[in-house]
Amino acid sequence: MKEELAKSSQSTISSFQVFLIHVCCGLALAVGFWVARNVYSINLIFDPTTTLRLIWAVEFPVVILLFSYFRQKPEKCSYLKAIARGLLGLPVGVLLNVLGALALGAPAGLQYFERTASWSLLMSSLTFVPTACVYGSCWTDWHRIFACTKPKGPLDFMLCLPAHGAVIGAWFGAWPMPLDWERPWQDWPICVSYGAMAGYVAGMVGSLGLALMHTGGKQLKAE
């Protein structure tokens, strides 16, 4: 009973909705790439800054609009407020991502600043903005999702797994950078962005799977 009460306080989400959101986010990434390639004829390797910004420009509105719909306590918090929270969350996320990247060794020179900033914009909208839209500035939820990694329910999975996937993917994406293969994609932040996006997609798949298992488990119990 208690569990159900706790659930009901959270805005519920069906696995179909999870699927829909993930497909939209994934599609947005793909559309971003497609537009960059076919409309502006640029790609990540030759013009990382513009391409990253372009992908971000497609991804960010999708993310913020979709996730604000699943905001916590919808009776107290309007849709617009959730969007505003997401918009506020973006610069904070950018700052944290920039600091994290610098700490892990991203080049600190001024000539790299634009690239780092564009990369952080994208990373922030993949990791930080969804949670900001849904939970606002509630420390307990942030603590649960990001510090302890103890998500409960499909909504938490949906926020937690892709974000962690993006960060871990970016971490792994950095490994080829020091190698002497002399490939253009070894530059900061190209392979890191690829890694982040791959990790993000993997996280989305994982979250979808967990959401399906979760609902499946519940149905079994109900039977």
Partner 1 sequence: MAPLTCTKLSVITITGIVTQIIGLSVFVFGFFPVKPALPGTSGSESFFAPACDFVGNLSDTTLPSDQLQSLYQELSGIPPSFDRLILMVIDGLPAEFVLGKNEKPPKKQFKEAMPYTQSLLVSGSAIGYHAKAAPPTVTMPRLKAMVSGAIGGFLDVAFNFNTQAMMDDNLLGQFFRIGWKMVMLGDETWIKLFPRLFKRHDGVSSFYVKDTVQVDQNVSRHLRDELSKDDWNLLILHYLGLDHVGHIDGRSSVLMAPKLKEMDEVVKLIHSSIIQSQINRPGRPLLMIVSDHGMTENGNHGGSTYEETDSLVLFIGLRNHIFEYASVINQIDIAPTLALLFGVPIPKNNVGVLIREAFDSLKEDQHLRALELNAWQLLRLLHAQLSGLPCRNLPCDAFYDHQSSSSSECNHTTENMLCCLYMEAAALYTSWKSKRGFESASNKDYSRTTSAYYKFLKSASEWLSRRTTDKPVKLLALGLATLFISSVILSSLMFCWLREIYHGGKQQTSNLNDRMNGWSFDETFIVSAVLILVTCMTSSSMVEEEHYTWYFLISTFYLLLLRKTAQSLSAVGLQSSFLMQKGQSGEGFFRICCIFLLLISGRILRGWHQGGVNWTSLPDISKWLEQAGSQYVKPLQLISAVLVISIGLFALFSIETKGKYFQMVRLSFLISGLLVLLHITRYQDYAFSSTNYGATFLVQIIYAILGAVTIGTVVALPWLIPLSTSKIFPADNTIASPIFPSIQEKFPLVELRDSLYVVGWAYILCWCLLQLLLQQPINTTPVLLLLLQIVAGVHYFVRSGTHHKEWVEIAGFYYLGMAGHFSLGNSNTLATIDVAGAFIGISNHSTFLSGILMFIITYASPMFILLSLVMYISTKSMAHLVIPEKANAGDLLMMLLGFPCLVPLVLNSILLTAYTVVLLLMQNHLFVWSVFSPKYLYVCATTVCTLIGVFIVAATGFYTYFVLAMRKEKACSS
Q: Which residues contact 133 (CB under 8 A, 6 or more apart)?
A: 63, 64, 67, 68, 70, 71, 82, 83, 85, 86, 89
Please, what's the b/e burial string for 6-33 (b: 16 or more CB within 10 A of its CB; e: otherwise)?
eeeebbebebebbeebbeebbebbeebb
Closest distance between partner 1 and the C-beta of residue 100, in Å? Answer: 7
Closest distance between partner 1 and the C-beta of residue 17, in Å? Answer: 28
Measure the CA–CA gap between 214 and 6, rounded to whole angstroms.
16
Closest distance between partner 1 and the C-beta of residue 146, in Å? Answer: 8
Q: Could you give the string, one character per residue 90-129, with x where binding to partner 1 holds by CB under 8 A and - elsewhere?
A: ----------x-xxxx--xx--------------------
Binding residues for partner 1, rule CB under 8 A, total 20
Closest distance between partner 1 and the C-beta of residue 180, in Å? Answer: 4
Closest distance between partner 1 and the C-beta of residue 164, in Å? Answer: 11
Q: Which residues contact 166 (CB under 8 A, 6 or more apart)?
A: 123, 126, 127, 196, 197, 199, 200, 203
State which of residues 76, 140, 219, 220 lies at the interface with partner 1 (CB under 8 A): 140
* Of residues 146-165, those binding partner 1 (CB under 8 A): 146-148
**Closer residue to partner 1, CB minimum distance, 182 or 223:** 182
* Of residues 181-200, those binding partner 1 (CB under 8 A): 181
Helix (H, G, I), strand (E, B) or coil at 150: coil
Q: Do the Cβ atoms of 135 and 141 come closer than 8 Å? A: yes
Q: Which secondary-structure segment (H or E) carries 155? A: helix 153-173
Q: Could you give the string, one character per residue 163-182, with x where binding to partner 1 holds by CB under 8 A and - elsewhere?
A: --------x--x--xxxxx-
Chain contacts with partner 1 (rule: CB under 8 A): 100, 102-105, 108-109, 139-140, 143, 146-148, 171, 174, 177-181
